[in-house]
């Protein structure tokens, strides 16, 4: 029964971690500013590959911002799309707002892997302003997005801003599951950045200084890794400026991103995310990820062990309930901020699926291959 004791030990460690995240999230006040007129120049960098269905909506939401047009620039980079993305970019017009766009030259398979980083680097090189804001081509943005980021920047003087992202969802099992899972990740992001526990963010909503990006040599040193244009860069900057990393907890800055449309795309995305785990120089997050992975793996071990000792199945069920109870206050707090508490009725029932995908994605992310937007990686 040693496996049961190990599972309980891992549960206790996991519970302490979740409770700490919950307390950290609740202790972080929502940002608001009395100022009305920011004066910071911003350059919004949007890498895009095969986004013909989304790029126009993204650009329209960015160009419609309640922000002085002369103070922000939009730079869209087509990453060798095989659909109509580049044609849509070239012919897009938003009144008097000019979109700076370019198309990257194709790189032969096997010669290169960090495609998105190359697109972002190109966009930053084209930027006229010191403050870079990055987002994804499948996102839509509230009208107050840039204004909130600029006011926060002017007040806090951060070197790096991690800002909130929420997944849109319909009533399908896949999209509800993704939205719930993403809520947890966003809560952990906010809590960890606020308390400076470890580096975590999402590239759909980031801001940092171009000067500092160049100072840390951009993606040099991490440009052999397909993923990590967000978290690996964040760690490079936080290593140099640990006290100038901030999370912008504001509903006025929440970016809405699209979920994956198929289970295969979802698993490919999560495998891509987990593939960078071995590249984290921030060992704090490595140990956190290891604890979470081993705790989820303990469910599989208990289920397999139950073939010989049936009582282990009962303990696995008890652990399932206990995991839900420990996580629920944290998830409820995060869901309340994102106005997604209606999803919580599914939370208990999605636990087995969450455990299974965590085990699979964590394993395949280290040893498997995946396809992302028509490219085979590793």
Query: Is residue 307 assigned to a domain?
Result: yes
Do residues 335 and 317 both lie within one domain? yes
Average pLDDT over residues 348-377: 79
Query: Is residue 173 assigned to a domain?
Result: no
What's the mean pLDDT when you consider all of the chain? 90
Percentage of residues in the chain with pLDDT exceeding 90?
Answer: 70
The sheet carrying 72-78 orders its strands as: 99-103, 72-78, 42-48, 131-134, 206-209, 160-162, 245-247
Could you tell me the CA-to-CA distances from 276 to 110, 207, 270, 311, 356 in Å, in that order?
18, 21, 11, 37, 20
Do residues 211 and 313 both lie within one domain? no
Looking at residue 34, what is its pLDDT? 75
At 197-220, the pLDDT tens digits run 888 899 999 999 999 999 999 998
Q: Count structural domains, the chain.
A: 2
Query: Is residue 266 assigned to a domain?
Result: no
Do residues 235 and 295 both lie within one domain? no
List of residues 6+ apart from 130 with CB closer than 8 A: 41, 209, 210, 211
At 138-160, the pLDDT tens digits run 999 999 999 999 999 999 999 99
Per the CB < 8 A criterion, the answer to whether 58 and 256 are in contact is no
Do residues 123 and 219 both lie within one domain? yes
Do residues 21 and 92 both lie within one domain? no
Owning domain of residue 230: 31-164+205-259
Do residues 250 and 309 both lie within one domain? no
Could you tell me the CA-to-CA distances from 301 to 24, 304, 351 in Å, in that order?
31, 5, 16
Per the CB < 8 A criterion, the answer to whether 219 and 371 are in contact is no
């Amino acid at each position: 029964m040693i496996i049961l004791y190990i599972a309980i030990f891992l549960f206790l460690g996991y519970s302490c971690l979740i409770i700490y995240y919950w307390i950290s999230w609740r202790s972080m006040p929502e940002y608001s500013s009395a100022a009305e007129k920011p004066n910071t120049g911003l350059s919004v960098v949007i890498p895009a590959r095969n986004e013909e269905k989304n790029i126009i909506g993204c650009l329209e939401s960015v160009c419609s911002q309640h922000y002085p047009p002369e103070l922000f620039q939009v730079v869209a980079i087509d990453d060798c799309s095989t659909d109509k993305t580049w044609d849509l970019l070239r012919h897009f017009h938003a009144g008097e707002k000019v979109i700076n766009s370019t198309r990257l030259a194709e790189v032969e398979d096997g010669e290169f892997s960090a495609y998105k980083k190359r697109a972002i680097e190109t966009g930053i090189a084209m930027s006229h302003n010191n403050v870079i804001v990055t987002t994804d081509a499948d996102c839509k943005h509230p009208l107050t997005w840039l204004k909130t980021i600029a006011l926060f920047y002017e007040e806090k003087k951060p070197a790096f801003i991690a800002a909130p992202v929420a997944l849109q969802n319909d009533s399908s099992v896949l999209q509800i599951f993704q939205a719930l899972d993403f809520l947890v990740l966003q809560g952990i992001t906010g809590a960890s950045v606020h308390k400076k526990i470890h580096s975590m963010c999402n590239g759909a909503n980031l801001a940092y200084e171009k000067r500092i990006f160049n100072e840390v040599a951009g993606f040099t040193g991490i440009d052999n890794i397909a993923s990590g244009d967000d978290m690996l860069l964040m760690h490079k900057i936080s290593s140099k400026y640990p006290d100038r990393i901030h999370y912008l907890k504001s509903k006025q800055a929440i970016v809405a991103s699209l979920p994956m449309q198929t289970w295969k795309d979802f698993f490919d995305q999560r495998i891509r995310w987990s593939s960078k785990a071995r590249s984290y120089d921030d060992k704090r997050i490595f140990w956190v990820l290891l604890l979470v992975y081993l705790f989820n793996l303990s469910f599989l071990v208990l289920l397999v062990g139950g073939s010989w000792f049936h009582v282990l199945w009962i303990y696995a069920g008890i652990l399932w309930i206990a995991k839900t109870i420990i996580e629920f206050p944290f998830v409820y707090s995060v869901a309340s901020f994102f106005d997604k508490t209606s999803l919580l009725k599914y939370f208990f029932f999605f636990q087995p699926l969450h455990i299974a995908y965590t085990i699979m994605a964590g394993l395949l992310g280290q040893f498997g291959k995946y396809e992302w937007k028509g490219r085979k990686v590793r």
